Amino acid sequence: MKKRILILGGGISGERIISLKTAKAVKSCIKKKYNCKIVEPDENLTKNIDRFSPDVVFNALHGRFGEDGFIQTYLESRGVRYTHSGVLSSMMAMDKEISKKLFIKNKILTPKFQKIRTNLNKKEVIKLLKKKIKFPVVIKPLNEGSSLGVYICNEKNIINNLKKLKSYDEILVEEFIPGREIQVAILGKKKLGAIELRPKRKFYDYKAKYSSKAKTKHIIPVNIKTKEHQNVMNIALKAHRVLKCRGVTRSDFKFHNGKFYLLETNTQPGMTNLSLVPEIAQHHGMSFFSLIDWIIKDASKNR
């Protein structure tokens, strides 16, 4: 009898469309081996779980309520096995302030940062930031993914960009690190591989990640020295462990002046045709089916 896999996709975050793409890609990949169904995390979720009685829930949700510990708490309260990281790991990784404090505590290099309120006036913002961070800076929500609401700012345009984030009470302001964009995938206790991105846009933002028209160049293997490659892989694994993650994670780095700056660790990386973890896995001889199958079995093994 086929195992039943309930795939959670969609949701209400800004990453809804990407989540649905991940869910559909996962279902298409595993439907021959598993009895699978895609459902939304809506008011009918409890009924869907009761009716389908899944062996594993594949969490294909991205963004708030999907990878911040919220849905994980619900699934644990239902006694349901689910993929990817648990409640605390998801919450800590999603909250950029908490995760960066953990990185610093564990001697993982990360850009300087400051949490600020979005209702400050220009003088207050400039005065506050100049104490800790030099311009240009990056502003971003504390708990969004896929580079949603991320802006590179100077002293002139920071207030206008802050207005775009006025729906958030507080945001993170981060030191802008120039340099190369390198992402590393971790699979359980294994260092899976790295990939470099060369976006034609200012940085690897939402459009660069999910639009084929953005024409972001993917480079694998990454053209860095062997010691540098080993170093960034080790840092990604250390971050995975510091956050107590399980399953698959993707850590995003900037490489500048011989140093790797960890921007964030993503506990639920995308699984679409433009996603990086499947591309890294494929390069290292692991098919998309093998990757998804591993994630499902890892959920069964660890709960």
Enumerate the active-site residues: 15, 146, 210, 250, 252, 264, 266, 270
Instruction: Give the residue among 70, 39, 66 at the shortest CA–CA distance from 52.
Output: 39
- Tell me, letter by letter, the H, E, C secondary structure of the chain: CCCEEEEECCCCCCCHHHHHHHHHHHHHHHCCCCEEEEECCCCCHHHHHHHHCCCEEEECCCCCCCCCCHHHHHHHHCCCCECCCCHHHHHHHHCHHHHHHHHHHCCCCCCCEEEEECCCCHHHHHHHHHHHCCCCEEEEECCCCCCCCCEEECCCCHHHHHHCCCCCCEEEEEECCCCEEEEEEEECCEEEEEEEEECCCCCCCHHHHHCHHHCCEEECCCCCCHHHHHHHHHHHHHHHHHCCCCCEEEEEEEEECCEEEEEEEECCCCCCCCCHHHHHHHHCCCCHHHHHHHHHHHHHHHC
